[in-house]
Amino acid sequence: MKKQEHLELFRQMVMIRRVEERAAELYQQGKIGGFLHLYIGQEAVSTGLAAARKPQDRLITAYRDHGVAINAGISPEQVIAELLGKATGTSKGKGGSMHMADTEKNFWGGHAIVGAHLPIAAGLALGDQYKGEDGITICMFGDGATNIGYFHEGVNLSKVWNLPVLWVCENNRYGMGTTVERASAVSEIRQKAEGYGIPNERVDGMDVLEVKQAAEKALAKIRAGEGPYFLEIMTYRFQGHSMGDPERYRESEEIKKWQENDPIGVYHKYLIENKKATGKELDEIEAQVEKDVAAAVEFAENSPEPAPEALFEDIFVEEY
């Protein structure tokens, strides 16, 4: 990997962290409505995946989607504007935190019903297969989604039709407040892929390079026509499920232990120790991200609300 690539991965992870921190503040100030699910702690997962993809590869995820949006190349301006419900947001202020997308950047959302986007992802992959294009659909979901029927129908179909999908389970140990052990018949989620005859691997999700390498290997196999592949990426969210989560289901000791493995800290250490970057260079990136996020918040706050006419726009494509 070239130095610039390393620095870019680092920048993206820091960008996600800072955007999420500002989002939490804006939420507490009452400027963001609805639910807000932060990606803090899981940055290495989407960053590693996005770095492994080619431009023709589609990304689709669940409701914890701000990080993926940034990795896909959506500006922090658009992300924060969507959080504030502004017309300049990714979805013109009509989707909110859980519904960001940008088809130009091959980011297909942002889907808020647990597991429901898995069969849709199979359909995206079918689109590429049908047209003979070599794009792959990278579909991310949480461990909690693997207990719902959508998961099983979507994953089964992908194998039956040999669809170009990379299934990525972000195992952050909890579906809301329920541990994997209390909700899933098997605590090693990759075993479920085994049941459908899909090659699979468990990966350390606190190490961005490990995620990237595992994804590259999987994508190469899929692109070679070998059918779907399944990654279980072990990660952890440092914040609650969403804002206002009382977190009665886990001990602060557990959170602290995972925070010692902060994916940004881990990568920072790696870059310095392996002389991929200097401390000064990384500090400069952090300072620039701070500035960019501040500018993004300013942009979003100064952006217009959707016009009243927007209420009735885009219900149907056609006029009847």
Partner 1 sequence: MAVITVRQAISDALREEMERDENVFLLGEEIGVWGGTYAVTRGFYDQFGEKRVRDTPIAETAIIGAAIGAAMTGLRPVAELMTINFAFSAMDHIVNEAPKLHYMFGGQFKVPMVIRTVGGGGRQLGATHSQTPDAIFAHFPGLVVIAPGTPEDAKGLLKAAIRSDDPVLFIEHSTLYQWRGEVPDGDYTVPIGKSKIQRPGKDVTLVTYSKMLQKSLQAADELAKEGIDVEVVDLRTLRPLDMDPVLESFKKTNRAVVVEEGWKSFGVGSEVVSRMYEEAFDYADAPIKRVAQKEVPLPYNQKLEQMALPQVADIIQAVKEVR
Joined tokens for residue 55: 């431009």
Binding to partner 1 by residue 62, rule CB under 8 A?
Answer: no
Residues 90-119 that bind partner 1 (CB under 8 A): 90-95, 99, 101-103, 108-111, 113, 116, 118-119
Binding to partner 1 by residue 142, rule CB under 8 A?
Answer: no
- Measured from the CB atom, the residue of 114 and 282 that comes closer to partner 1 is 114
SS3 264: helix
Residue 153 beta carbon to partner 1: minimum distance, rounded to whole angstroms: 4
- Measured from the CB atom, the residue of 107 and 236 that comes closer to partner 1 is 107
Q: Confirm if 215 and 139 have CB atoms less than 8 A apart.
A: no
Binding to partner 1 by residue 267, rule CB under 8 A?
Answer: no
- Measured from the CB atom, the residue of 91 and 146 that comes closer to partner 1 is 91
Q: Which of 107, 108, 109, 167 is nearest to 142 (CA)?
A: 167
Binding to partner 1 by residue 309, rule CB under 8 A?
Answer: no
Binding to partner 1 by residue 78, rule CB under 8 A?
Answer: no
Residue type, 99: H
Q: How far apart are CA 43 and CA 59, in angstroms?
A: 15
Binding to partner 1 by residue 55, rule CB under 8 A?
Answer: no
Q: How far apart are CA 257 and CA 23, in angstroms?
A: 25
Binding to partner 1 by residue 144, rule CB under 8 A?
Answer: no
Q: Confirm if 165 and 192 have CB atoms less than 8 A apart.
A: no
Q: Which of 182, 63, 147 is nearest to 112 (CA)?
A: 63
For 114: left if phi > 0, alpha if psi spans -120 to 50, otherwise beta; the answer is beta
Binding to partner 1 by residue 153, rule CB under 8 A?
Answer: yes
Find the radius of gyration of the CA atoms of the chain.
19
- Measured from the CB atom, the residue of 22 and 111 that comes closer to partner 1 is 111
Which residues contribute to the site for partner 1 (CB under 8 A)?
89-95, 99, 101-103, 108-111, 113, 116, 118-128, 130-131, 149-150, 153-154, 156-157, 160-161, 313-318, 320
